[in-house]
A = this chain, B = another copy of it.
């Protein structure tokens, strides 16, 4: 019964979108699923891993970023921990922890949904490395979903930096992500970034998203 209801609602939703919105299936966006991760300043790497320690690359990511071999352990204000959380390099000007809502609940913290870099007044979090520990008074966020693209991509899609769009996941267990922010930069490779909750919630695997303006 419930499944039938879901199917019927899905049909209605698709119908209500109108052909114009989803007809142009050339608006395809690759999707990258971000697991929880940490960005660190030089100073914090010194504390957590030892003075002058250099992060080791495990996997190249877009825009000159990389997943480091190194991990840390997060502890929230309710003293609950998530172990072995990946560090993303290179070093940043401010340390930042990006978790999913599920992680935030596990850690017992109220992490706000924010664009990367906007950590003012965000949740406190302890970060423990093999050689030390730090406590960020603020710095833990749930990353707001967004699409990275180059100016050329933006031109092709007819969107501008900062614009809010929708992205449809057409996989039978999918749906539509609303409130997706366009982020345009010459260094960006076309990719939508969602977290593990978002991916799991709409059954996102390796398929492309469909951009809806």
Copies in the complex: 2
Query: What residues on B are CB-neighbors of A79 within 8 Å?
Result: 71-73, 83-84, 128-130
Size category of the A interface is 20 to 34
Measured between alpha carbons, how far is A53 from B135 in the docked complex, in Å?
Answer: 18
A133 within 8 A of B: yes
Query: What residues on B are CB-neighbors of A129 within 8 Å?
Result: 79
Measured between alpha carbons, how far is A127 from B73 in the docked complex, in Å?
Answer: 12
The SS class assigned to the A binding surface is: strand
Known A133-B134, A133-B135, A134-B133; contact A128-B83, beta-carbon cutoff 8 A:
no
Query: What residues on B are CB-neighbors of A130 within 8 Å?
Result: 77-79
Query: What residues on B are CB-neighbors of A213 within 8 Å?
Result: none
Interface string of A55-72 (1 = CB under 8 A from B): 000000000000000011
Measured between alpha carbons, how far is A84 from B79 in the docked complex, in Å?
Answer: 6
